[in-house]
């Protein structure tokens, strides 16, 4: 295990150095602090007025990956870097100088979670050793849209293997390919997952923004633990084509950023119909080209927001920070209505059954899409591969893979009953009803607790979460930094009806601009309890 992990780390380090050397005659050790907390808009303005270079910014992000991810605090958030990143940057810089401006993401470096296909010279692994050498040779729809918009895919981020749908007592942010990702605020703490690497890369300013995916909590939890903004959109607003799946019903990609405005900008690029993903063909879908026009510092004024009181009490320090958030929103003119809204009976169990069925169906379809070169073709073959592998079962089992392999087709009654029950209880009898009965503009709750210590023996130590409401219903959810407990950030989630991203972004922006809780990490080795500001 140590030998393999060391080899992977050395390979990634050498790749970064080779990319930097190829275009600069050696690694430039210049100060990269100007990139810390820089926004998409600020980068774009610099590119257009000549104060920043697309190539230099790309090079400096790669240098930050070398300094912070592969050495220094060794965050281990990046699985691979794009060897063509600087060449692409130079081409995009030339386009700008010639007057060909692709829009707000032109020249902006992005990192993709490593379950999202891209045709660059990087594998798509889902963190699994069975896919270490899998090069799909195609873009996912997300990668295609980003590329068309001028974004530069500079790397792939580590994740909880198979997006955290594999086994018992797992540690978020661990994969057989990438090892364990570390939290940049306190490095022995967990980054949460499954979009752990994306969250850490954004928090540590290793990229301008990242793309994560969520089935239940995999965008909002790492955003909570890493002090960033994470947006899980309505399922169907962004295509899932070319993304290694868990659940056709619940999966969605989404932006992970340092600001709400950046999330709005990215969402406008990615929200689009895709004929190869039927969820995007919903006639009720609201595709908006520019969500940033809805951002308003005074958006909280007059809003009725439901506070889920049953998502409290799991951590008295989180409750204290939440009380401060409520006080701010009331002062900003919002009316906060306390609500007890537990998930309906049997909803979580139904969702689990749906994921088991859909994971088998979706993953085997993805294997088939790889063609004759696919390393495995069925879940049973994957399970057998893991049994023979020296890395995969050292810390964690593969019980979820085994359970999914035992399921039948999506025509079985158990699947159909479970799907109908969970959607009815979380939609028409859930969020829709609660918001209608209480005349609400949004719901809110703490996103989760502060990051726990990473533990490869006992696994994760979740204390509380509010992600299931939006995740199981397929409705939108945005988390924003809410404050700190000592040196560890915690977030607040705003969620609501389907296709209400514009309204939620406005509320989140108003909260963010009035509180300004986001701050860059200090890469501490151990937790310190400092006074709250």
Active site residue 87: no
Active site residue 377: no
pLDDT at 4: 43
pLDDT over threshold 70, residue 12: no
Separation in Å, CA 382 to CA 60, 120, 228, 463, 489: 39, 25, 34, 32, 37
Residue range 461-473: mean pLDDT, rounded: 97
Q: Do 17 and 127 reside in the same domain of the chain? A: yes
How many domains in the chain?
A: 2
Q: Do 155 and 275 reside in the same domain of the chain? A: yes
- pTM of the predicted model as reported, rounded to 2 decimal places: 0.95
Q: Do 341 and 259 reside in the same domain of the chain? A: no
Q: Do 202 and 233 reside in the same domain of the chain? A: yes
Q: How confident is the model at residue 16 (pLDDT cuts 50, 70, 90)?
A: low
Residue range 257-284: mean pLDDT, rounded: 98
| Cβ-defined contacts of 307-310 (< 8 Å, 24+) | 307/336, 307/337, 307/338, 307/339, 307/443, 307/444, 307/445, 308/339, 308/340, 308/341, 308/443, 308/444, 308/445, 308/466, 308/469, 309/338, 309/339, 309/340, 310/340, 310/341, 310/342
In a domain, 370, yes or no: no
Q: Do 90 and 184 reside in the same domain of the chain? A: yes
pLDDT at 346: 97
pLDDT over threshold 50, residue 10: no
Structure token digits, residue 97: 């100088």
Do residues 99 and 119 touch, judged by C-beta distance below 8 A? Answer: no
Q: Do 27 and 128 reside in the same domain of the chain? A: yes
Instruction: Select which of 77, 170, 218, 223 is catalytic.
Output: 218
pLDDT at 526: 81
Instruction: Select which of 113, 156, 279, 303 is catalytic.
Output: 113
pLDDT over threshold 70, residue 6: no
In a domain, 315, yes or no: yes
pLDDT over threshold 70, residue 528: no
Structure token digits, residue 488: 């560890």
pLDDT over threshold 80, residue 210: yes
pLDDT over threshold 60, residue 1: no
Active site residue 453: no
Neighbouring C-alpha atoms within 13 Å toward the C-beta of 38:
22
Q: Do 163 and 62 reside in the same domain of the chain? A: yes
Residue range 387-407: mean pLDDT, rounded: 97
Q: Do 256 and 332 reside in the same domain of the chain? A: no
In a domain, 430, yes or no: yes
Q: Do 313 and 290 reside in the same domain of the chain? A: no
pLDDT at 30: 75
In a domain, 529, yes or no: no
Q: How confident is the model at residue 132 (pLDDT cuts 50, 70, 90)?
A: very high
Give the domain extent around 494. Answer: 304-347+422-515
Residue range 415-423: mean pLDDT, rounded: 98
Q: Answer with the residue of higher pLDDT: 462 or 526.
A: 462
Q: Do 225 and 310 reside in the same domain of the chain? A: no
pLDDT over threshold 90, residue 241: yes
Q: Do 235 and 327 reside in the same domain of the chain? A: no
In a domain, 496, yes or no: yes
In a domain, 409, yes or no: no
CATH classification of the domain holding 334: 3.90.1300.10
Instruction: Select which of 80, 140, 171, 194 is catalytic.
Output: 194
Quote the mean pLDDT of the chain.
94
pLDDT at 8: 47
Do residues 503 and 294 touch, judged by C-beta distance below 8 A? Answer: yes
Q: Which of 322, 514, 341 is nearest to 440 (CA)?
A: 341
Q: Do 269 and 288 reside in the same domain of the chain? A: yes
């Amino acid at each position: 295990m140590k030998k393999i992990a060391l080899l992977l780390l050395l390979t990634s380090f050498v790749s970064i150095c080779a990319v930097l050397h190829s275009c600069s005659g050696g690694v430039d050790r210049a100060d990269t602090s100007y990139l810390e907390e820089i926004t998409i808009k600020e980068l774009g303005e610099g590119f257009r007025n000549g104060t920043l270079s697309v190539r230099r910014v790309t090079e400096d992000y790669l240098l930050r990956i070398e300094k912070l991810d592969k050495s220094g605090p060794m965050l281990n958030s990046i699985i691979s870097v794009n060897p063509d990143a600087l060449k692409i940057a130079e081409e995009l810089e030339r386009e700008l100088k010639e007057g060909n401006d692709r829009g707000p993401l032109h020249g902006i470096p992005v990192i993709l979670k490593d379950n999202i296909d891209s045709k660059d010279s990087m594998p798509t692994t889902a963190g699994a050793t069975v896919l270490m050498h899998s090069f799909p040779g195609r873009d996912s729809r997300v990668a295609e849209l980003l590329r068309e918009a001028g974004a530069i895919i500079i790397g792939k981020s580590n994740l909880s293997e198979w997006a955290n749908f594999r086994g018992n007592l797992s540690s978020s942010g661990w994969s057989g390919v990438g090892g364990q990702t570390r939290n940049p605020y306190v490095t022995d703490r967990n980054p949460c997952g499954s979009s752990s690497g994306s969250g850490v890369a954004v928090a540590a300013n290793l990229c301008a923004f990242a793309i994560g995916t969520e089935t239940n909590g995999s965008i909002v939890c790492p955003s909570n633990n890493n002090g960033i903004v994470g947006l899980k959109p309505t399922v169907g607003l962004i295509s899932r084509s070319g993304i290694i799946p868990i659940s056709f019903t619940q999966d969605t990609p989404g932006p992970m950023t340092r600001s709400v405005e950046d999330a709005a900008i990215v969402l406008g690029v990615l929200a689009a119909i895709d004929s190869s993903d039927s969820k995007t063909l919903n006639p009720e879908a609201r595709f908006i080209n520019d969500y940033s026009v809805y951002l308003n510092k005074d958006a909280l004024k007059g809003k009725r927001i439901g506070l889920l009181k049953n998502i409290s009490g799991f951590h008295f320090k989180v409750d204290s920070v939440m009380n401060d958030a409520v006080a701010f929103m009331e002062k900003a003119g919002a009316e906060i209505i306390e609500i007890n809204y537990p998930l309906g009976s049997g909803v979580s169990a139904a969702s689990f059954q749906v994921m088991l069925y859909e994971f088998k169906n979706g993953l085997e379809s993805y294997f088939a899409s790889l063609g004759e070169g696919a390393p495995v073709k069925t879940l049973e073959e994957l399970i057998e591969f893991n049994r023979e592998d020296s890395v995969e079962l050292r810390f964690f089992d593969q019980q979820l893979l085994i359970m999914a392999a035992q399921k039948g087709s999506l025509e079985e009654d158990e699947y159909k009953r479970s799907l109908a029950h969970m959607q009815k209880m979380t939609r028409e009898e859930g969020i829709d009803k609660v918001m209608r009965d209480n005349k609400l503009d949004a719901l809110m709750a703490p996103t989760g607790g502060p990051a726990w210590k990473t533990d490869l023996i006992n696994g994760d130590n979740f204390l509380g979460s509010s992600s299931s409401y939006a995740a199981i219903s397929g409705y939108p959810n945005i988390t924003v930094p809410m404050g700190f407990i000592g040196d560890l950030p915690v977030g607040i989630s705003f969620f609501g009806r389907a296709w209400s991203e514009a309204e939620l972004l406005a509320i989140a922006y108003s909260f963010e601009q009035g509180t300004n809780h986001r701050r860059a990490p200090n890469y501490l080795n151990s937790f310190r309890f400092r006074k709250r500001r």
